[in-house]
Structure 1
Amino acid sequence: MRKALIVWGGWDGHEPEQVANIFRDVLEQQQFEVEVSDTLEAFSNREKLLELDLIVPVWTMGEISNELVDNVLAAVQSGVGIAGCHGGMCDSFRANVNWQFMTGGQWVAHPGNDGVEYKVNMKYSSGMLFEGIEDFEVKSEQYYLHIDPAVEVLATTTFPIADGPHATNRTVEMPVVWTKRWGAGRVFYNSLGHHADIVTIPQVQEMMRRGFLWAADGKQVAEQQDHVHDKSTAYNGMADSNY
């Protein structure tokens, strides 16, 4: 059975406990063994993190030590997946640039605040991860993020909708969902999820379900690649000795 760790906390406005419970239910339905923690000390045991298949952060703002972040980064680099949403992953620790480097983006604004009506536009150039999910409307915060150019975009939204100083710039397409890699690990992020009711929108919950599975699958893929590499190295060594 695959193992997942959900760590929730930080700013209560994002309803982290409720969101963590929703994610736990989704993962348990996919036959994961799920541990849920409400303390960042859950990241203190590096060896335990390395045994996981998936890490799900649900923690907005706050501070974290470099040691704890380094443990998470090392686990993901080894092949453990990480997947999350909204401020629970890409506005977790504003002062820690290493966290931002791994996750692929950082929230900077939500013009119009909560209640903006906007469209989520699906992109299919990234493969079939979101096959069958059509464009949809949502009424929530519309996240404006600073984005790592390395991310692979799966869904976008268009700015500006709400008025503000940003509106004098040209129209921009802002990523809503993306994937990226961190070493052998897979990273999945969805900017939707301001409150628990947004997470339970059918399209959003299905996107998260698929994102969890995709991120968690990366560990097995990495292990298989390592196995093939080890066999190849051993074969080449035998060939060299025979030569």
Structure 2
Amino acid sequence: MRRALVVRGGWEGHAPVEATELFIPGLADAGFSVTVTGDLDVYRDERLPAETDLIVQCWTGGTLTEEQEAGLVSAVQAGTGFAGWHGGVVATFGGSRDYLRMVGGLFLHHPEDFLTYDVAIAPARSDHPIVAGLSGFTVETEQYWMLTDAHNDVLATTEYAASESAPPVSMPVVWTRQWGRGRVFFSAIGHRLADLQDPAVHELTLRGLLWASR
């Protein structure tokens, strides 16, 4: 049986407990034994992260100690999958350079109000198992502006409208990433439970979690 470790906590505005509970049944149905913790010191454990096939993190804000960061990153480099969504991955641990390099993005900004925007599947990646058979869809939620890098395999994007400050820009919404022997999955959608309960978002996210597993 494969093992999944759900690490949840931080800012309660992203409902880390309720959000992760939406995906635990899907992990169990896929054959995972699921362990849940609200303690970042689990990343310091010398055995559990390394013996885990998938880490699902939903932890907005806060900091990692050097020991916590080293334990997490080394586990992923050795083959443990890492996956999550929204601020639980890219709006957290901003002072941890190795962590940010591993996940491949850092949240910078979103418009003050929720926006209705389209999410387009990248045509060149439409056969990827996370998005295969899925069509583009529309959401009404926060639209994340992030710093990213070229190591990301972008599976879906959104268009940021022009503003007084900047011309239009394409922004990644879903990406995967290889870090050492470990797979990384991230989706920018998930500010509210309703976002994650949207059928298209839920299907895409659960596929991403399963894909990232060792």
- Are 1:188 and 2:189 counterparts? no
TM-score of the superposition, structure 1-length normalised? 0.84
Corresponding residue of 1:172: 169
1:30 deviation in Å? 1.3
Matched, 1:116 2:93: no
Tell me how far apart the structure 2 counterparts of residues 87 and 112 of structure 1 sit (CA, whole Å).
15
- After the TM superposition, list the runs of 4 or more consecutive aligned residues in structure 1 that deviate by more than 4 angstroms: none
- Equivalent AA in structure 2 for residue 131 of structure 1: A
1:24-66 superposed Cα distances (whole Å, 9 cap, x missing partner): 1221121210001111122121321111100011000111101
What's 1:135 paired with? 136
Tell me, in whole angstroms, the C-alpha distance in 1 between the residues paired with 2:179 and 2:123.
Answer: 22
Residues 35/77 of structure 1: CA separation in 2 closer, same or farther (3 Å cut): same
Superposed, 1:151-162 pairs within 5 Å as: 151-160=152-161
C-alpha distance in structure 2 between counterparts of 1:110 and 1:157, whole Å? 13
Following TM superposition, by how much is the alpha carbon of 1:132 offset from its aligned partner in structure 2, in angstroms? 1.4
Q: Distance in 1 between matches of 2:166 and 2:142?
A: 20
Q: Deviations over 1:67-104 (max 9, x none)?
A: 11111111100111101000001112111121110000
| Counterpart residue number, 1:99 | 99
CA distance in 1, matches of 2:97, 2:128: 31
Relative to its length, the structure with more helix (as a share) is 1
Which residue of structure 1 aligns with residue 78 of structure 2?
Answer: 78
Tell me the equivalent position of 2:210. 213
1:125 equivalent in structure 2: 124
Structure with greater strand share of residues? 2
Q: Distance in 2 between matches of 1:92 and 1:2?
A: 27
Normalised by the length of structure 2, the TM-score is 0.95
**Aligned partner of 1:107: which letter?**
F
Alpha-carbon distance between aligned partners in 1 of 2:59 and 2:201, rounded to the nearest angstrom: 19
Q: Give the partner amino acid of 2:170.
A: E
Q: Which moved more, 1:180-189 or 1:90-99?
A: 90-99
Q: Please, what is the CA RMSD of the aligned residues?
A: 1.3
Q: How many residues align?
A: 212
Q: Hey, what does 2:145 align to over in structure 1?
A: 144
Moved more, 167-176 or 150-159: 167-176
Correspondences of 1:37-56 after superposition (within 5 Å): 37-56=37-56
Go from structure 1 to structure 2 and tell me whether the alpha carbon gap of 1:7 and 1:100 turns closer, same or farther (over 3 Å shift): same
Correspondence 1:219-230 to 2 at 5 A:
219=214
Contact 1:20 1:36 in 2 (8 A): no
Identity of matched residues, %: 37
- Contact 1:100/1:106, CA 8 A, preserved across alignment: yes
CA contact (8 A) 1:177 1:190 kept: yes
Counterpart residue type for residue 11 of structure 2: W
Question: d(CA) in 2 for partners of 1:174 and 1:185?
Answer: 24
Q: Which runs of 5+ in 1 are unaligned?
A: 220-243
